[in-house]
Amino acid sequence: MAATQLKWDLFLAKALVSTLLVLLCLHTSTGMSGWGGCLDGQDVFATIRENSHWGEVVTELMADTRMEGVHWRLDGKDAAWFFLDERYIRLNTSADKILDREAQGPFLKADLSCYEEDTFQSVYRIMVEILNENDNSPVFSTNTVHSLSVSELTPVNTVVFTVLATDADNDKIIYSIDQTSPDAEYFKVVLPNSGEVILSKPLDYETKTSLSVTIHASEMTTAERYNTSTNITIFVLDGDDQYPQFLPCMLLLQNETSRICASPVYAVNVTEGEEDIVLDFFPGPIHAVDGDRGLNSPVSYAIVSGDDDGRFLIDRETGEMRLVHGVMDRLLTPLVPLQIMAYQDDDPRKYSVATVLVRFVAVNQFLPEFEMAEYQGFVTGGKSPVSLVNTYVLKC
Ligand SMILES: *[C@@H]1O[C@H](CO)[C@@H](O)[C@H](O)[C@H]1NC(C)=O
Ligand SMILES: *[C@@H]1O[C@H](CO)[C@@H](O)[C@H](O)[C@H]1NC(C)=O
Ligand SMILES: *[C@@H]1O[C@H](CO)[C@@H](O)[C@H](O)[C@H]1NC(C)=O
């Protein structure tokens, strides 16, 4: 069993050697030119990995480069990348000359000329493709925005900005939001290859005027998944979404997304008979501001109701209120409640209403009074023109 196996193995080995010899003979006999050394010039295609080291074999030549009287010379555009070592063309690199496909381009070209007794015989055109290695990370393009302004009225699901990163190795890039960045919740990426960053939560200038988010650009299909990131600051621009607010704010609700104020009730006491006076309210003065502090649109004032007798005037610009015609009998008119409004000059549909209470009080309503009807006292006798009277209370 073992003996036949061995015989068979030997037979195969012999067959292989003779085939190789035939092939070699074919090479040397058909390729010869002149009396020997140089073969017919042919094109040599080879590949080599990017970042390969010095001495790496680029290709092996069929010709015998050691034959006497024959010599070879490398020249052409990229000849310095190669050197000839017997029948091998090897790579010539150094610490500061690294084979970089991105810098060099995908192909190296050189000519290998063959001379017999200094007579040119043939040329081999050498074409070497540099095989790509993933040796570059994505890089955000230089015109990537680092900050931008966005109106608070921007609808959710709108693209707020677009980023673009490139990869020198031409790898496909996907973009994502760093969920640990402070305002990640406001943004989302729907199409990971597009670089489009979409608003996912309403903006509100009144509670947050700027947002910060980190965007990653990562290689999509490589093993290394090289990535880079960029920080983007979004300044929220005030939009006209708030109504005027009378001050001071009567706070109804405040949380991290909203602050809701009610209007104060402005009150004043006026003595009956008084007129043509500026009313001094508490709280006061009457004043309203645009709720959009960033826009701060001018606000005007008007009396809406309650002044059927035409007693009051309000200054449209300042909100100052005057009593023009006074009340002569407070028993008939003890209290005048009015509604006033503050509206935006640029959009009167945006207005707020507040209540004004004008109470009429009697002239000298309260006279000064002593606590008791009668006091007892004594005084120390002496020469002094002034002396203290000590009073005391008699217990009855
Ligand atoms: C190898 O490259 C260096 C730098 O380009 C060059 O100076 C040198 O001559 C090259 N060596 C060969 C054998 O071509
Ligand atoms: C970025 O690269 C690092 C290191 O390779 C990796 O740990 C991380 O998960 C990558 N991040 C993203 C967003 O791909
Ligand atoms: C008006 O007078 C009443 C008492 O007469 C007092 O309670 C009230 O605080 C006064 N209001 C103002 C705005 O001064």
| Per-residue pLDDT tens over the stretch 255-280 | 877 788 999 999 999 999 999 999 99
Cα separation, 225 vs 9, whole angstroms: 49
| Strand stretches in 43-81, DSSP E | 43-49, 57-60, 70-75
Q: How far is CA 185 from CA 78, 161, 178, 197, in A?
A: 53, 15, 10, 12
| pLDDT tens-digit series, residues 363-382 | 875 666 777 777 777 776 66
In a mutational test of the pocket of ligand 1, which residue from 81, 88, 92 has the highest number of ligand atoms less than 8 Å from its CB?
A: 92
Checking if the pLDDT of 206 tops 80, the result is: yes
pLDDT at res. 380: 67
CATH number of 139-237: 2.60.40.60
What does DSSP say about strands 147-151 and 227-237: parallel, antiparallel, or unpaired? parallel
pLDDT at res. 258: 77
Answer yes or no: is the C-beta of 80 below 6 A from any ligand 1 atom: yes
**Residue ranges around ligand 2 (CB below 6 Å):** 176, 216, 218, 225, 227
* DSSP helix/strand/coil, 15: helix
pLDDT at res. 382: 65
Checking if the pLDDT of 123 tops 70, the result is: yes
| pLDDT tens-digit series, residues 155-183 | 999 999 999 999 999 999 999 999 999 99
- β-partners of residue 321 are 314
- Using CA positions, which residue lies closest to atom 4 of ligand 2? 226
CA of 104 to the centre of ligand 2 (A): 28
Please return the burial class of 177, using the count of CB atoms within 10 Å of its CB with bins 0-12, 13-18 and 19+.
buried
- More confidently predicted of 325 and 35: 325
Cα separation, 213 vs 160, whole angstroms: 12
Decide whether 43-131 matches 245-361 in CATH topology: yes
Element (H, E) at 67: none
Contact indicator for 260, 254 with CB cutoff of 8 Å: yes
Checking if the pLDDT of 28 tops 50, the result is: no
Checking if the pLDDT of 7 tops 70, the result is: no
Ligand 2 atom with least separation from CA of 178: 13
pLDDT at res. 389: 65
Task: Please state the domain extents for the chain.
Answer: 43-131, 139-237, 245-361
pLDDT at res. 22: 37
Cα separation, 342 vs 219, whole angstroms: 57
Residue type, 233: T
Backbone φ/ψ region at 382: left (φ over 0), alpha (ψ -120 to 50), beta: left
pLDDT at res. 137: 96
Checking if the pLDDT of 298 tops 90, the result is: yes
Cα separation, 392 vs 396, whole angstroms: 12
Cα separation, 278 vs 358, whole angstroms: 12
Dihedral angle sign, alpha carbons of residues 148, 152, 153, 156? positive
Closest by Cα among 126, 25, 39 to 84: 126
Query: Whole-model pTM above 0.75?
Result: no
Within 13 A of 58's CA, how many CA atoms are on the CB side? 29
Within 13 A of 258's CA, how many CA atoms are on the CB side? 7
Please give the structure tokens belonging to residue 121. Answer: 């015989």
Dihedral angle sign, alpha carbons of residues 113, 115, 119, 121? negative
Cα separation, 138 vs 189, whole angstroms: 18
| pLDDT tens-digit series, residues 39-68 | 788 889 999 999 999 999 999 988 777 788
pLDDT at res. 287: 97
Residue type, 155: P
Residue type, 271: T
Closest by Cα among 163, 166, 164 to 138: 166
pLDDT at res. 366: 60
CA of 264 to the centre of ligand 1 (A): 87
Checking if the pLDDT of 201 tops 90, the result is: yes
CATH number of 245-361: 2.60.40.60
Answer yes or no: is the C-beta of 269 below 6 A from any ligand 3 atom: yes
Cα separation, 128 vs 99, whole angstroms: 12
pLDDT at res. 27: 38
Please give the average per-residue pLDDT across 130-140, as a whole number: 96
Residue type, 297: S
Please give the structure tokens belonging to residue 270. Answer: 């006026």
Please give the average per-residue pLDDT across 279-305, as a whole number: 94
| pLDDT tens-digit series, residues 314-349 | 999 999 999 999 999 999 999 999 999 999 999 999
Q: Per mean pLDDT, which range of 27-31, 203-207, 246-250, 273-277 is the poorest?
A: 27-31
CA of 201 to the centre of ligand 2 (A): 27
Answer yes or no: is the C-beta of 268 below 6 A from any ligand 3 atom: yes
CATH class of the 43-131 domain in this structure: mainly beta
Closest by Cα among 74, 144, 130, 60 to 102: 130
Alpha carbon 199 to its chain's center: 11
- β-partners of residue 82 are 91
User: If pLDDT is split at 50, 70 and 90, which confidence band does 8 have?
Assistant: low
Answer yes or no: is the C-beta of 265 below 6 A from any ligand 3 atom: no
